Chains A and B, each alone.
Chain A
Amino acid sequence: MGGCAEVKFILAILSLFLSFQASAKIIPVGSRQQFKTVTAGIQAAAVGDTVLVDAGYYKEKNLQILKSIVLIGINYPVLDGENKYEIISIKADSVEVNGFKIIRSGHSSLVDLSGIKIYDSRNVTVKNNILKDTFFGIYVQNGLNCTIENNQVIAVGKGGEQQNGNGIHCWQSEGMRIIRNTVTGHRDGIYFEFVKNSIIWRNTSVKNVRYGLHFMFSNDDTYVSNVFENNGSGVSIMFSHRIKMFNNFFEENWGDAAYGILLKEISDGYMEGNYFSKNTSAIYMEGANRIEMRRNTFKNNGWALKIQASCSDVVLERNNFIGNTFDVGTNGSLVLNRFINNYWDKYEGYDLDKNKIGDIAYRPVSMFSMIVEKYPSAMILFRTFIVTLLDKTEKIMPTLTPENLKDQAPLMKKAF
């Protein structure tokens, strides 16, 4: 009868779990409830309890969450920071904040006041919130395994870079999941500094003052299926290693210092399936090493690729270049990168053996793009007869353009 005893034992343990769960209380907060303020509700809650906040308007100054509780808002109760306070400060593990409308945090140039700030905690979830007119939106400092999901972060301030914080800001964190958020009007939409092993998935970052996404010193991160549109200067990835980028959209980042994506001092990156359209420069690379780019689409950009001579071992394979004013721009004659099997709509070669690969190499750097790189004012001669003539002669006998920058096997038809 040993088996029966075992079953009993398991049942006993299960019931223990059940009773433990049943002990988690629900604490209602609202104008007609027992607790009138969220602060009082949180104070009354024990570890594991749920504080359920009715719709309404709450001025709670700074809400401190110091224990593992779940804070849920029904129909978006408003938490107002009166332009003075940080609104929610999370300083405990496994906290969840869900369904609030958080408005008007304080602004400060000394402290990074935020709508929601997570301090040194793990497994925190912040989801389904609306943040409006906050200095920093959601700020994670020293977080581990936190989830930031389905929030709308909107800055209303018209201030420049200094009067405006970042939408979602992560610092010194690991294992972050940033999913399906929308960020508008902040300094940087999403900002990562010293963040490792994290994923950014299905976010929309539009019309931010500086960058849609900004990486600094963050390694082993992946971002997938995000939309970066109309930001001050696009997306910037700096001093980071082993970043993977899949299926992102980079659109309409216009201006002199605006890039679809800026890659500076990064190495071992991988980019696939991204779509760049209508950017002044779709990709600007400086000091980038061992980057692989496959199956990306560059359409209607000013420059599809600006690759400085300081880059090495960058591989471009099976990308589509369509309708760009200039395909590739560079600043020197040293080429340590490889272009192969890309589709270039400006390619004028032929395919005699019908293997769908052009028989002569394509040189994506035109003479005029070299001239413009050196003398920007020469842009005024764009599409003149003399420039076309120069480009044609240069194509036949390269003198100024780097001899080795060419696609040995360009595709005759689109790569995909």
Chain B
Amino acid sequence: MKKIIKYVIFDILRNRIVLVYTLFLLASSFTVFSLEDSGSKGLLSLLSIILIVVPLVNIIFSTIYVYNSAEFVELLVSQPLKRKAIWLSLFSGLASSLAIAFFIGVGIPVLIYQANIIGFTMIAVGITLSIIFVAIAMLATVRTRDKAKGIGVAIMLWLYFSLLFDGFVLFLLFQFADYPLDKLMIGVTALNPIDLGRILILLQLEVSAMMGYTGAVFKDFFGTAIGLASSAGALLLWIALPLWFSTKLFNSKDL
């Protein structure tokens, strides 16, 4: 298994796309921090990158990579190896290389300019989001055999998580405005890892606006140890569940 992970990581590094991704992140983080006069404003601009670019790149790159290594996977399956091990090492290789890319691209600038609790939250959320979208991409690929369709599904999933879901929440808010929705909203955010990550960062960042009544409800939940633990748990579930499903599907897949 270790060998396969090593091979996957080397293969990805040779691919150079991840290298370009790292450089892009690095360049944009340094620009953002040097352009804005206050560090916390830089963090805000970086937040958009983390919430939009990182999921997009991760989901699409992973999807394409898994499709392209279909022959390699077939070759491995013919060897005396467990399918679960093959699939998990493919995941580990992808997730670790993309997480490292994120850490170098965003983590290091953040640690240089804003080595505080906000910065650490941001890095942790970014890395978790990277891994989550690798897991989701692998679930998408294992379900569809057609490459074009698979990439389409990946893009749709990204669109759903970063745009459509929030639109749906907004619609829900308008429709049920007469009911107390604050508590429900906390539950709804757990259904979207991007939202969950955003709120975790925002609660550290922009206290005054979030401190209104609703903000107080959120803060009461996400600010406590239980809230923090359960939102971290929800994020981990977002890694574990897609991975578990995809492994199960891959085990019985007719290659």
Instruction: Among B38, B173, B208, B210, point to the contact of A377 (Cβ < 8 A).
Output: B173
Contact bitstring B182-209, A, C-beta under 8 A = 1, else 0: 1001001100000100110010001111
Q: Which of B79-87, B135-143, B148-156, B162-170 contacts A (4 or more CB under 8 A)?
A: B162-170
**Docked CA distance A185–B38 (Å):** 34
CB A230 to nearest CB in B, in angstroms, measures 13
Q: Are A255 and B216 in contact (CB under 8 A)?
A: yes
**Docked CA distance A378–B215 (Å):** 10
Chain B residues within 8 Å of A84, by CB? none
Instruction: Among B38, B162, B166, point to the contact of A323 (Cβ < 8 A).
Output: B38
Q: Are A325 and B208 in contact (CB under 8 A)?
A: yes
**Docked CA distance A324–B223 (Å):** 22
Q: Are B52 and A385 in contact (CB under 8 A)?
A: yes
The answer to whether A300 has its CB under 8 Å from any CB of chain B is: yes
Q: Are A374 and B211 in contact (CB under 8 A)?
A: no
The answer to whether B72 has its CB under 8 Å from any CB of chain A is: no
Chain B residues within 8 Å of A389, by CB? 163
Chain A residues within 8 Å of B202, by CB? 382-383
The answer to whether A376 has its CB under 8 Å from any CB of chain B is: yes
Instruction: Among A254, A280, A381, point to the contact of B170 (Cβ < 8 A).
Output: A381
Question: A381-B166, A384-B166, A385-B51 are known contacts. Are A302 and B173 too (CB-CB below 8 A)?
Answer: no
Chain B residues within 8 Å of A325, by CB? 206, 208-209
Chain B residues within 8 Å of A280, by CB? 208-209, 211-212
Q: Are B163 and A375 in contact (CB under 8 A)?
A: no
Interface size on B, residues (CB 8 A): 37
Question: A376-B213, A377-B182, A386-B163 are known contacts. Are A300 and B170 too (CB-CB below 8 A)?
Answer: no
**Docked CA distance A380–B209 (Å):** 11
CB A373 to nearest CB in B, in angstroms, measures 10
Question: A325-B206, A380-B218 are known contacts. Are A256 and B199 too (CB-CB below 8 A)?
Answer: no
Q: Are A302 and B208 in contact (CB under 8 A)?
A: yes
The answer to whether A379 has its CB under 8 Å from any CB of chain B is: yes
- Additional 16 contacts, C-beta under 8 A, given A280-B209, A383-B47, A389-B163: A254-B211, A256-B213, A302-B206, A302-B210, A323-B41, A326-B209, A375-B174, A378-B170, A379-B215, A380-B188, A380-B189, A380-B195, A380-B218, A382-B202, A382-B209, A386-B167
Q: Which residues of A contact B (CB under 8 A)?
A: 254-256, 258, 278-280, 300-303, 323, 325-326, 371, 374-389
